[in-house]
Structure formats: C-alpha cells, structure tokens
Amino acid sequence: MAAPLTDLEKRKQISIRGIVGVENVAELKKGFNRHLHFTLVKDRNVATPRDYYFALAHTVRDHLVGRWIRTQQFYYETDPKRVYYLSLEFYMGRTLQNTMINLGLQNACDEAIYQLGLDMEDLEEMEEDAGLGNGGLGRLAGTVPRSMCLSVCQCVEEADDWLRHGNPWEKARPEYMLPVHFYGRVEESKEGARWVDTQVVLAMPYDTPIPGYMNNTVNTMRLWSARAPNDFNLKDFNVGDYIQAVLDRNLAENISRVLYPNDNFFEGKALRLKQEYFVVAATLQDIIRRFKISKKGSTGPVSFDSFPEKVAIQLNDTHPAMAIPELMRVFVDVEKLDWDTAWAITKRTFAYTNHTVLPEALERWPVGLLETLLPRHLQIIYRINQGHLDGIRALFPGDLERIRRMSLIEEDGGKRVNMAHLCIVGSHAVNGVAEIHSNIIKNDVFREFSELEPDKFQNKTNGITPRRWLLLCNPGLAELIAEAIGEEYVKDLSQLQKLNELVNDDAFIRDVSNVKQDNKVKFSQYLEKEYKVNINLSSMFDVHVKRIHEYKRQLLNCLHIITMYNRIKKNPKAPFVPRTVIIGGKAAPGYHMAKKIIKLITAVGHVVNKDPVVGSKLKVIYLENYRVSLAEKVIPATDLSEQISTAGTEASGTGNMKFMLNGALTIGTMDGANVEMAEEVGEENMFIFGMRVEDVAEMDVQGYDAVPYYNSIPELKQAVDQIQGGFFSPKQPELFKDVTNMLFNHDRFKVFADYEGYIKCQEKVSQLYQNPKEWTQMAIKNIAASGKFSSDRTITDYATEVWGVEPTDLKIPPPNEPRKALEETARVLTEK
C-alpha cells in the first residue's frame, strides 16, 4: 500500500485554503525573517523551533492587524448593534492554523516555510492550547489541572501553564484598564445608595483577534487579567510590613491567576465568585464606555433608552449572572436612572443560555458570602426578587409554595441565591442547546417560569465550525468533498446533502474509506510514539473522549471493555472484530469519583494490553491531557463515536457533531443532540440503544435498584466482581470499592440498567464493521446529514431570534481598498 499523503501534501491540493502566489510567498518569507531578527532578536544559528513558531505567528498576525483595525473602524462608522458573548470559558484551541485558513494564507505559508527549510507541522505543534476552557476561567495563566494517567495507573495533575512562553496573538490594552470593587459597605441617602470603602482590583484587558472566513472581518475576544493598584496596601508597605503588602498584592491578582479550588472549601467559593464578578464588572464598564462614545455629539446627558437597540449581551450559563445586578447598579447608582426604567432596559439587554440540568451544577451563592463580598449587589438582588414575587402573588394569591419554589432566594439549608432563577427573571430570552434539553428546562426544571412567560423560552441547538473541524483537522476529507460538490459547503454546510447522491458511487466510497485509513495511520503513529503501543490498523477505532463525569458513563464503556476481554479469554479462537478503544478527558480537581473512573480505565487497560492471549485483538488507550489540538488528531481517525450519557442528562454535546462530520458512526442514547442527529440521518444510520427520557423518569418514580441487573446478567456480574475483587488492582484489592459501592447503591445514571442493551448494540457495530462498503456508505450518509450542526446556523438563529440583528454577507473592505467602496458598503448595510 502506498504511503499516505502527509497533511502538508493534502493541504497543498486544497484551493479553499488559499492560493500559492510567488509574491505572497516572498512577502511571507520576508516577514518571517524580519520578525526572527527584529522581534525575537535571533538568527538561524541560535533560533529554536519555538522561535520559528513565534516568527511565523507574528508574520501571520501582520496580515490580521490591518483587517482588525479596519473592522473596528467600520463598526465605529456604521454604529451597528453590538453583540457581547459573556462567558468565563473560551476553549479556543490553537490559533495559528485556524488563522491561516480563515485568511486564505495556508498554502502560501506552507510553501514559504518549506522554502525556508523548516517543517510546518513541527512549528504548528509548538503552539500551546489556550487554557481558557474545560475548567479554565477568564484569562488563566496558572493551574488548570489535567489528568494524566501513566502506565502504573497513577492519576497525576500538572499545571497547564500555557502562557509561560508568551502569547503572540494577544495585545495588552493598559489604556483601557478599569477598576473593579469588592467588599465595603452601602451608605443610604436621599440621593440613593453609595457603595463605599471598597477594595479595588484593576482589570487589564487583553485582546485576541478572531478572523472570519475569507471576509476581511476580524472581531475581538477580550480577556481580563487582575492587577493590584499601585497604591495597594501602601500603608502596610510604609510601616515596614513588606511581606504582607506583597502577599496582599498577590491575593488580589490571584483572581485571574489560578483556577478556583475544590468547591468543598469555602475559600474556593469566594475566589470563584470574585472571578465571576471581576469579569462581568470589567466587561460592563467597557460596554457602557463604548455605548457612550457612539452617543458623542448628542446634547445633554446620555440617554440609555436606546441601549437594548445597540447592545445585546448573551449570558453563557449562570457564571456571568452577576452582570444583571451589576448593570442595575450602574444604571441606578451611577447613571441615576429610576429603578423601573433601569430594569426594563436590563431585561431587554440580557439573554441567557442554560447548559445543564444537573442540580449540582446549578450555581447557588450563599447570601452571607454575597453580603460580605458584594453588599450592594445583594440589596439589588433582594429588590429584583421582591418585584418578581409581587408579580407571582398577584397571579397566584395565597400560593406560598409556588412563591417559595420560584423565589431567587432559597431558604432550605441556609439562604442562597439561585443564579439560574436570577438569569431567567433578568433576561428577555432563555434557551437550551438542543431540542430535548430545551424541552426539559421548559417542561421540568424551570416549568413554572415557562408557564409564567412561555414566549421567553427557546431552543438553539449547538453547532461546530466546519473550518476548524473539517478543513483544518481533516484536509483529505475536505478536499474530497470539495472535488465532489464544490467549495461552497465551507460557508454553507447544508450543501453536504449533495453527498447523498454519491452513497452508491463505488469510487467515492473507496476514496472516503482511503481517507479514513490514512487518518488512522497517522494517528496510530502518534499513539505508538506517545504511548509505546503497537496499533492494529485493521482494528475499529472506538473513541470516547469528553469530560469525565458519571452521567457521561465512561463506566459503561469500561464494563464493555471488560466484557470483550473476558470473551477473548474464554474462547481465544472465536471470531472477534479487533478494537482499539481510546478514552480521554479531564476530571475536575475535586471530583473524587471522576478520578477513580480514570484510574479504573487505565488499570483495565494495563491488564488488557499486557495479556498475550488478547494480543492485537483489543487495546485500551487513555489519552493524556485531552485538549482541542489532540481532538483535531483523534476525531478524523475515529470509526465509532461513543455518546452514551443517560437519556435526559447531556444538554447537547458538540463532540458528537464533530465525529459525525468527519465520517465516524455513532453509538449512543437518545440524549442531547443525538436526538437531532438521528432525525437528520435516520436512526437506522446510527447505533441507538438504551432508555429514553420517559423511561428514566418512570424508573426514578419506581426507584432504581442495581442488584437485579447484577444478579440476572452473568457477564455484568463477572465484570463487576473483577473490579470489586481487585482483579485489575491486585496490589490494592479495595482500590475501586468506591466505584462499585456507587454502582450498587447510589448510581443516579443507571449504568447497569443500560448495560445489556449497550452490549447487544455493540455486537451490531462489530457485525457491520466486517462489511467495509456498507460501513462507509453509512459514514457518507452521516457526513451528508451533518449540515444542520454548523455553528453558522446556530449563530444565525441567535442573531435573528434572540439578539435582534440581521446577519449579512457583506464583506468589510480590506485596509487598502478605496474609501468609496467603504462608503458604499456602509450605505448598503445601513439600508439592510
């Protein structure tokens, strides 16, 4: 078999990645050498691979800057409505290759780097994944734990210090540094409330350019870093308490330096709340500053009546919920608006996206903590709640239980503020992120709020960007699709439906199969290098990568692995479809059970991989430090995608969409976006098993008992007994007693109940995998049906149905285009 093309060779074939022009290449080489010499102060004799990466990143950024500035000028001149997506997490992954693709520079950069005698893939690997998600908050330069499981089954947490070498993509904006206040007390007077005697922390903005795809638009992701004021505890410093002054300064700056600790500790909760308020307070000051600039030239004091026509703020889950009382504080205390006017503007400005229905994940802040840290905001929340409850009393007089359930203040087990309730009351729109999830929050979790304001609740199914999750990570498949149906699908993913016409085309089936095999070869080389394990390339790559949590049911997958192992051991000569089971994901730092699950999977893998009887039939690999850049490697190589959460627990998922787009088949429950995937492609083209939402609800009413399943299913009993008896941990026989105790006594996610259906469904998977043509035909149908799950569609839905803005395909003129063209574009946009 011929050696597969490298990604670089595939990229050179793809016109949608840009044109290789002699002038472009020469300009890029010149820029690269200039930055190597004048920015990094190095030459080729002493430069390291990281220096070369930085030189390339700065060169590419040069091509962004003009468009970035031009975009901001265009917004200033046309004064459109601005949308602010307020989130404590932005899990962006690497920036270099994504930027090259979106600017149409990929091929020219590849050629320039090749002519310079360097390897582009080596340079791309030098970039760190930005630690801004999957537990990362704000602009974290510090300790995001990552679970790493070594061959001896030890779970180790390491600091993800992604900024230690600097970040060539961000631009500090010290001129826009803003004060954020904490603690203090509230003074009441005839003029209103004043928040005084506060401690001040400064918020330093860092801007990262976010380029659109081939449209000259470059928007901004603004992150905030905490800084202590220069006079911070100067009194202590002057009286000689130097150490305390330094410690206090560090304490202030810890807001954006470290991940908040385990929630079991009160200090962790205080730091988390500080982080959340810090982000929203800085951002809202910034938004109001920008709004006032747009009003410059008007006579008299600035009117905020048009604020919702110019500003839309999307709250990404409850983490930024303090934005609601903070905007009220600014309007009432600073801008001197009356309460009713301020509240009407605030509600019209905010919209809220809910991301979870798990009770433990819904934020509830202790009143005592708020009273200490943000005393004025607690007063505002109380007043918001009073108005909210007055409305409920008017509609349901005497219904004290309803009032208790719908209050923003919970009183069971200590007074706490329910942040989801605050978000719902303070927003004009509330949405879930998949149809099934939106129905659950509307009909169950927040049913009484939905009954009160039914038009407020919507669905906005999540999406993924095809630029990163196809063009970037799977160039072979991207080019194959472009040859078959043209290149417009990159901007209109619904065009993938045209691939249905090729489902029976033998040549296309062969080409899709070859692309998958090439990706498997490349990823197996990575696995062999990183994990020193030989991979059977004819094996099914069975992949389960996501955050480690009981509801995502990595334990169900683990039981299947043990079952397959036991079947091989029982009858080594029996036919068996080889599998390479790949599991990856991170555990929250204080989540004991998640860490035990990781240890169990790696312990099982250690036994399976070392057993000579098993050989190449079954391998188990746990991916260390699963992150965006690793997802870009594993997803294109995947045959089978595991999406097996308990029905009704996964809000949506986006990994399921990425696998689907890249030609993997899905085994899953009818949960999250799986439901809509099945609607698009047909259940017959997925491997669906397990309880439905109504089955889970009925079982909850009747009471779930794990023991009958254990006693009646011999293979399940054998697997659980092996875990419980120390078969996979002979030196520590009781290592996994917490896991089995949970499975028997308090498994909210009912692993045993779905075990038998899961095993039978996996047998169907193995049966189909033995027919490569039918398997690939089903994969093509999945690719063709994935158009709905583009983030372009998701954002369009938000824009038109939540934010009140109309998307446009107008191109912002590049920096060198004549002024006349800019004016014409502005005129057309204004008319729209």
With CA atoms as reference, report the closest residue to 372 among 524, 183, 243: 183
What is the rounded (10 degree) CA torsion for 566, 567, 568, 574?
170
CA distance 162 to 160: 6
Alpha-carbon distances, residue 771 vs 500, 521, 768, 775, 816 (angstroms): 19, 20, 5, 6, 56
Q: Is the dihedral of CA 67, 69, 70, 72 positive or negative?
A: positive
Alpha-carbon distances, residue 165 vs 104, 161, 222, 791 (angstroms): 27, 9, 20, 32
Q: What is the DSSP letter of 104?
A: T
Strands 409-410 and 364-366: unpaired
Q: Is 421 a catalytic residue?
A: no
Please report where in the chains the tokens 């035990």 appear, as a residue: 596
Spatial contact of 328 and 100, defined as CB atoms under 8 Å apart: no
Q: Which of 274, 552, 595, 617 is catalytic?
A: 552
Spatial contact of 769 and 577, defined as CB atoms under 8 Å apart: yes
Q: Is the dihedral of CA 254, 256, 259, 262 positive or negative?
A: positive
Q: Which of 595, 658, 750, 781 is catalytic?
A: 658
* Alpha helices per DSSP H over 441-502: 447-452, 466, 475-485
Please report where in the chains the tokens 């499981």 appear, as a residue: 149
Say how many residues make up the chain: 832
Alpha-carbon distances, residue 23 vs 102, 113, 710 (angstroms): 19, 14, 69
Q: Which two tokens stand for residue 617?
A: 């039939």
Q: Which residues of 710-743 are buried (b: 16+ CB within 10 A; e: fewer)?
A: beebebbeebbebbbebbbbeeeeebbeebbebb
Q: Which of 346, 654, 776, 794 is catalytic?
A: 654
Q: Is 617 a catalytic residue?
A: no
Q: Is 355 a catalytic residue?
A: yes
CA distance 759 to 765: 10
Q: What is the DSSP letter of 646?
A: P
Q: Which helix (H) or strand (E) holds 189?
A: strand 185-189
Alpha-carbon distances, residue 806 vs 77, 187, 661, 737, 797 (angstroms): 18, 44, 27, 56, 10
Spatial contact of 112 and 227, defined as CB atoms under 8 Å apart: no
Q: What is the DSSP letter of 334?
A: I
Q: Is 552 a catalytic residue?
A: yes
**Furthest C-alpha separation in the chain:** 88
Q: In this structure, what are the phi and psi dihedrals at residue 182, rounded to the nearest 5 degrees?
A: -140, 160
Q: Is 547 a catalytic residue?
A: yes
CA distance 689 to 670: 8
With CA atoms as reference, report the closest residue to 56 among 159, 5, 126, 3: 126
Q: Which of 249, 257, 547, 737 is catalytic?
A: 547
Strands 199-211 and 218-227: antiparallel
Q: Which of 257, 355, 415, 692 is catalytic?
A: 355
Q: Which of 61, 67, 274, 546 is catalytic?
A: 546
Q: Which two tokens stand for residue 686?
A: 């997925």
Q: Which residues of 548-578 are buried (b: 16+ CB within 10 A; e: fewer)?
A: bbbbbbbbbbbbbbbbbbeebeeeeeeeebb
Q: Which two tokens stand for residue 521?
A: 């070869």
Query: 399 by DSSP, 3-state: which?
Result: coil
Spatial contact of 616 and 578, defined as CB atoms under 8 Å apart: yes
Q: Which residues of 588-621 are buried (b: 16+ CB within 10 A; e: fewer)?
A: bbebeebbbbbbbbbbbbbbbbeeeebeebbbbb
Q: Is 546 a catalytic residue?
A: yes
Active site (catalytic) residues: 355, 546-547, 552, 654, 658
